[in-house]
C-alpha cells in the first residue's frame, strides 16, 4: 500500500485517495467484497507498522462506506485508526488518522459530520507546527470538505482559498485543479452559479492540460452534476459522456454508475431515452456484485420515479415479483420504508384496512428520518388515503403535518410541497363546511403559488443566463488554448526570421525567395493534407455510422430515425467474464477483448450485418438495416455459427498454450425496431424496441457454444438450418418464449 512520512511528501497518494471518495467504484472496479475485506483484515492484523495499519483501516472504511454501504462499521474502523494514532503520541500518525477519517467518507449523520470537522480542526492545529506544504494542503482541503458537509459555505471558501495558495506555491497543477473544485462547490452552495461554473471549467481545463485521467473524470462528473441541478440537461449529458469516455473499459462498477447517472438525466432531458430496463440492469449488476450502495441508489431512483409518476402497480411488481428478497431485507435495514411500501401495495390491492395498518406502522418510524421533505411526502400520501376512505378529520391532521415538515426544511423547492398540502386542506375544510379555515388555506394557496411563480421566473432567468455563460466560457477556453498555441508558433517564426536577416541583404533575398517558394510548396502540401484529413473524417464517420446514415448526416445535417418492420438482432456475451477478468491484468484483459471483438467485426461485416454497440463484454449487432433486405435472418444465424466456430478454435488453442479463454453465449431474435442517431456529440447509431430486449433475453437464456434463436427467427431460417426445439423457455420480463438451438454443422450446409 503506502507509508506516510512528513519528511517525504507523496502527492500521488493524496490525489488517488481523494479520487476514491468522489464516486463509488471510480477506482474499485468490479470486486468480490468478501475477498477484498478478508485481504484488508489480514493486512491489518499482520501489520507491525502503525502507519500501514492506519492506511489499511482507512481503505477498509472507505470500502464499507462506498461499496458495502454500512456507515456504522466504516465509522468504527476509522475510530480504531484514530485510537491507534492517539496511543502512539506521534503527530505524523495523528495527521494521517484524522485526515483518513474524513477521506473515508464518514458523513453518514450529523454526529459523524461533526466528528469529521473536529478531527479536521485537530489536524490543522498539528500542521501549524510543521513545514510540510503537501500535508497542509491535504488538511485544508479536508477542512473545506467537512465544512461543505454542514453547509457552512463561508468556512468552505476560507479553507479552499488556503489550500489554493499552498497548491500554487508548490506549483502542483493537480492540487490547484482540486482546489478550484472546492471553491466552485462553495460558490455553488452560495448560489453564485456563474462564478461556480467558471471555477468548475478552470479545474477541468487544468485536468485536461496535465491529462490526469482520474482528475478529468472527477471534473467532468462535477460539471455534469452542476448542469443537472440547474436543469441544463443537454450539457449535463455532454459532460457525463466525457466522464464515461475516460473510464477504463474493464471498470464495470464505474461504468454502471455512469449508466445510473445518465438515466437520471434522461428522465428530464429526453424521456424516450429513459428505460426502466436499464435501471434494472444496474440493479441486477449491483446485486450480482454485492455493491449495496449502487443497489440502494438505483432502487431509490426507480422507486421515486414510479411513485412520482403514480405507477404503484409497477412498483408492486418490482418488489413482489422481480426482487422479493430486497423487500424482505428492508424489514431489517429500513423498516419505515418497508411499512410505507407495504401500505402502498395494500392500497393498490384495494385492501384498505391492511393499508391503514401499514401506514400507521410506518408513521411510528418515519420521525427518525432527517429528510423532512420525505416525511412531508409520506404524510401527504397518508392524508390522500384517509381522505379517499372517508376519514376526513384524520386526513386533515396528516396534511397539517405534511405542511409543517415541508415548511421546516431548507430545500429550495419546499414551497411546492407546502402548496400540495395546503390545497388538500383547503378542499377538505370546504367539504366539511368550515369556510373560515378553508379561506385561510385558500389565501395561503395563492401566496404560495405566487411565490413559486416568482421563484420559477427567477430560476428560468438564471438558467438562461447560465446556459449562455456556459457556452461563452467554454468557447473562451477553447479560443484561449488556440491563441496560446498560435502565439507560441508566431514567436518561433519571428525569432527564426530575425536570425535569418542577420546574414545580410543578399542572404535575406535568397531566403525570401526560398520562403516564397516554400510557401507555395506548403500551400500545395496543405491542400493535400486537407484532402487527406477530409478522407480521414469521412472514414471515421463511416466507422461510427452506416454509409446511408453518414451520407444523410453530411448532406442534410441530421439523420432521421427510421422504423424497420423486420430485422434480426444478435447479442453475444462471454461466460463468467467477471470472474475471468479478476484473474487477469487490465492490459491483458483489454488486449484480449480487443482481439475477440476485432474478429467479431470482421465476421459480421462479411455477412452484411451492422454492428450496433459494445456494452461491457456484450456485443450487439443487427441484420436488415440500415438498408432492408430479405436475408437478414439467414445472414445473422450464419455469422453466429461462424462466431461460435471461431470461439471454439480459440478455446482449443488457448488451452494448449495454458492461457485464459472465453466461452460465448449467443441469442437471436427477429422483429421490428426503430433505428437512428443518439446524442449531439460523440453520437452513435442505435436501435430500440421490444425486439432488442427480447434478443437480449435470448442471450441470457442461451448456453455456451450454442446459438439460441427465438420462434420468430426460426420461422425465417427453418428451411436453411437444422434446429432443435427447446420448448417454451421462461425469459426475464418476457414470460415463456419458443426457443431453438441451431445445429453447428449447418455453418457450411445452410442454404437460402
Bridge partners of 739?
710, 727
Give the DSSP per-residue string, 423-451.
HHHHHHHHHTT-HHHHHHHHHHHHHHHHH
| pLDDT score at 17 | 40
Please determine, for residue 271, whether its predicted confidence score (pLDDT) is greater than 50: yes
Please determine, for residue 530, whether its predicted confidence score (pLDDT) is greater than 90: no
| pLDDT score at 24 | 39
Please determine, for residue 147, whether its predicted confidence score (pLDDT) is greater than 80: yes
CATH architecture assignment, domain 1-19+41-150: Alpha Horseshoe (1.25)
**Cα(80)–Cα(87) distance, rounded to whole angstroms?**
11
C-alpha cell at 59: 481503505
**Cα(551)–Cα(554) distance, rounded to whole angstroms?**
5
**The length of the chain, given as a count of residues:** 752
Hey, where are the domains in the chain?
A: 1-19+41-150, 562-749
**Cα(706)–Cα(30) distance, rounded to whole angstroms?**
27
**Cα(17)–Cα(175) distance, rounded to whole angstroms?**
13
Please determine, for residue 384, whether its predicted confidence score (pLDDT) is greater than 80: yes
Please determine, for residue 216, whether its predicted confidence score (pLDDT) is greater than 60: yes
Element (H, E) at 738: strand 735-742
C-alpha cell at 39: 485481504
**Cα(167)–Cα(171) distance, rounded to whole angstroms?**
6
| Top-confidence residue, 374 or 222 | 222
CA dihedral over 563, 565, 567, 572, signed as positive or negative: positive
| pLDDT score at 720 | 86
Cβ atoms of residues 635 and 696 within 8 Å: no
- If we measure between CA atoms, which residue out of 713, 735, 738 comes closest to residue 725? 738
Q: Using 50, 70 and 90 to split pLDDT, how confident is the model at 524?
A: low
pTM of the model: 0.58
Average pLDDT over residues 249-265: 92
Q: What is the pLDDT of residues 410-461, one digit of tens each?
A: 555 567 788 888 888 888 888 888 888 888 888 887 887 777 665 555 455 4
> How many other C-beta atoms lie within 10 A of the C-beta of residue 717?
24
**Cα(226)–Cα(27) distance, rounded to whole angstroms?**
22
**Cα(710)–Cα(731) distance, rounded to whole angstroms?**
11
| pLDDT score at 626 | 83
| pLDDT score at 19 | 42
C-alpha cell at 700: 441470457
| pLDDT score at 526 | 53
Lowest-pLDDT choice from 108-112, 516-520, 666-670, 718-722: 516-520
Please determine, for residue 13, whether its predicted confidence score (pLDDT) is greater than 80: no
Q: Using 50, 70 and 90 to split pLDDT, how confident is the model at 167?
A: very high
**Cα(493)–Cα(110) distance, rounded to whole angstroms?**
62
Q: Using 50, 70 and 90 to split pLDDT, how confident is the model at 215?
A: very high
> How many other C-beta atoms lie within 10 A of the C-beta of residue 693?
18
Average pLDDT over residues 35-61: 89
Please determine, for residue 23, whether its predicted confidence score (pLDDT) is greater than 50: no
Lowest-pLDDT choice from 210-214, 217-221, 351-355, 440-444: 440-444
CATH class held by domain 562-749: alpha beta
| Top-confidence residue, 16 or 520 | 520
| pLDDT score at 475 | 57
Bridge partners of 688?
674
CA end-to-end span of the chain: 61
**Cα(17)–Cα(100) distance, rounded to whole angstroms?**
9
Average pLDDT over residues 181-209: 91
| Top-confidence residue, 139 or 14 | 139
C-alpha cell at 543: 466507422
3-state secondary structure of 215: helix
Q: Using 50, 70 and 90 to split pLDDT, how confident is the model at 14?
A: very low
C-alpha cell at 342: 407495504
| pLDDT score at 241 | 93
DSSP conformation class of 721: S
| pLDDT score at 677 | 76
Amino acid at each position: 500500500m503506502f507509508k506516510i512520512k512528513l519528511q517525504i511528501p507523496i502527492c500521488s497518494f493524496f490525489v488517488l485517495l481523494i479520487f476514491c471518495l468522489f464516486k463509488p467504484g471510480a477506482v474499485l472496479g468490479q470486486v468480490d467484497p468478501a475477498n477484498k475485506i478478508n485481504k484488508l483484515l489480514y493486512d491489518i492484523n499482520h501489520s507491525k507498522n502503525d502507519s500501514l495499519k492506519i492506511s489499511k483501516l482507512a481503505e477498509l472504511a472507505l470500502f464499507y462506506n462506498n461499496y458495502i454501504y454500512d456507515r456504522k462499521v466504516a465509522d468504527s474502523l476509522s475510530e480504531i485508526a484514530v485510537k491507534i494514532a492517539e496511543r502512539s503520541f506521534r503527530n505524523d500518525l495523528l495527521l494521517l488518522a484524522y485526515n483518513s477519517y474524513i477521506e473515508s467518507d464518514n458523513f453518514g449523520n450529523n454526529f459523524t459530520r461533526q466528528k469529521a470537522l473536529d478531527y479536521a480542526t485537530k489536524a490543522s492545529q498539528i500542521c501549524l507546527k510543521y513545514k510540510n506544504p503537501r500535508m497542509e494542503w491535504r488538511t485544508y482541503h479536508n477542512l473545506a470538505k467537512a465544512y461543505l458537509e454542514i453547509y457552512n459555505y463561508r468556512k468552505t471558501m476560507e479553507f479552499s482559498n488556503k489550500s489554493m495558495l499552498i497548491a500554487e506555491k508548490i506549483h502542483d497543477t493537480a492540487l490547484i485543479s482540486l482546489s478550484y473544485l472546492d471553491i466552485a462547490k462553495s460558490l455553488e452552495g452560495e448560489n453564485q452559479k456563474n462564478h461556480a461554473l467558471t471555477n468548475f471549467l478552470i479545474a477541468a481545463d487544468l485536468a485536461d492540460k496535465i491529462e490526469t485521467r482520474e482528475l478529468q473524470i472527477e471534473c467532468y462528473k462535477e460539471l455534469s452534476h452542476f448542469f443537472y441541478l440547474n436543469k441544463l440537461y443537454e450539457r449535463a449529458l455532454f459532460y457525463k459522456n466525457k466522464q464515461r469516455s475516460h473510464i477504463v473499459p474493464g471498470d464495470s462498477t464505474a461504468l454502471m454508475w455512469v449508466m445510473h447517472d445518465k438515466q437520471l438525466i434522461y428522465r428530464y432531458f429526453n424521456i424516450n431515452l429513459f428505460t426502466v430496463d436499464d435501471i434494472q440492469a444496474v440493479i441486477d449488476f449491483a446485486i450480482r456484485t454485492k455493491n449495496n450502495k449502487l443497489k440502494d441508489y438505483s432502487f431509490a431512483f426507480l422507486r421515486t420515479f414510479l411513485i412520482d409518476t403514480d405507477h404503484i402497480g409497477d412498483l408492486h411488481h418490482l418488489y413482489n415479483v422481480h426482487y422479493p428478497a430486497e423487500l424482505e431485507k428492508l424489514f431489517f435495514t429500513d423498516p419505515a420504508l418497508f411499512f410505507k411500501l407495504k401500505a402502498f401495495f395494500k392500497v393498490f390491492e384495494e385492501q384498505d384496512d391492511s393499508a391503514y395498518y401499514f401506514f400507521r406502522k410506518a408513521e411510528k418510524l418515519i420521525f427518525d428520518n432527517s429528510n423532512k421533505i420525505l416525511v412531508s411526502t409520506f404524510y401527504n400520501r397518508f392524508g390522500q388515503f384517509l381522505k379517499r376512505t372517508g376519514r376526513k378529520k384524520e386526513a386533515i391532521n396528516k396534511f397539517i403535518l405534511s405542511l409543517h415538515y415541508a415548511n421546516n426544511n431548507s430545500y429550495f423547492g419546499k414551497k411546492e410541497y407546502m402548496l400540495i398540502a395546503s390545497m388538500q386542506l383547503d378542499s377538505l375544510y370546504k367539504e366539511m363546511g368550515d369556510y373560515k379555515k378553508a379561506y385561510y388555506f385558500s389565501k395561503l394557496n395563492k401566496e404560495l403559488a405566487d411565490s413559486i411563480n416568482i421563484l420559477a421566473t427567477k430560476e428560468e432567468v438564471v438558467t438562461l443566463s447560465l446556459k449562455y455563460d456556459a457556452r461563452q466560457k467554454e468557447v473562451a477556453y477553447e479560443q484561449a488554448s488556440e491563441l496560446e498555441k498560435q502565439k507560441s508558433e508566431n514567436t518561433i517564426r519571428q525569432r527564426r526570421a530575425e536570425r535569418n536577416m542577420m546574414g545580410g541583404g543578399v542572404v535575406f533575398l535568397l531566403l525570401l525567395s526560398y520562403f516564397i517558394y516554400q510557401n507555395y510548396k506548403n500551400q500545395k502540401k496543405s491542400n493535400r493534407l486537407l484532402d487527406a484529413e477530409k478522407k480521414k473524417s469521412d472514414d471515421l464517420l463511416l466507422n461510427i455510422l452506416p454509409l446511408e446514415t453518414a451520407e444523410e448526416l453530411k448532406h442534410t445535417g441530421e439523420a432521421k430515425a427510421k422504423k424497420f418492420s423486420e430485422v434480426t438482432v444478435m447479442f453475444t456475451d462471454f461466460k463468467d467474464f467477471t470472474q475471468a477478468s479478476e484473474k487477469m491484468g487490465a492490459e491483458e484483459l483489454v488486449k484480449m477483448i480487443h482481439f475477440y471483438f476485432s474478429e467479431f467485426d470482421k465476421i459480421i461485416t462479411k455477412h452484411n450485418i451492422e454492428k450496433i454497440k459494445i456494452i461491457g463484454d456484450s456485443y450487439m449487432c443487427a441484420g436488415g438495416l440500415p438498408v432492408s433486405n430479405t436475408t437478414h435472418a439467414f445472414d445473422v444465424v450464419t455469422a453466429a455459427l461462424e462466431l461460435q466456430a471461431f470461439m471454439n478454435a480459440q478455446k482449443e488453442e488457448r488451452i494448449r498454450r495454458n492461457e485464459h479463454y472465453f466461452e460465448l453465449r449467443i441469442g437471436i431474435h427477429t422483429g421490428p425496431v426503430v433505428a437512428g442517431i443518439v446524442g449531439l456529440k460523440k453520437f452513435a447509431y442505435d436501435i430500440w424496441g421490444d425486439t432488442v430486449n427480447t434478443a437480449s433475453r435470448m442471450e441470457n437464456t442461451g448456453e455456451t457454444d450454442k446459438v439460441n434463436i427465438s420462434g420468430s427467427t426460426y420461422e425465417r431460417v427453418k428451411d436453411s438450418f437444422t434446429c432443435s426445439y427447446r420448448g417454451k423457455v421462461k425469459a426475464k420480463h418476457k414470460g415463456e418464449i419458443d426457443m431453438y438451438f441451431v445445429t453447428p454443422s449447418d455453418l457450411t450446409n445452410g442454404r437460402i
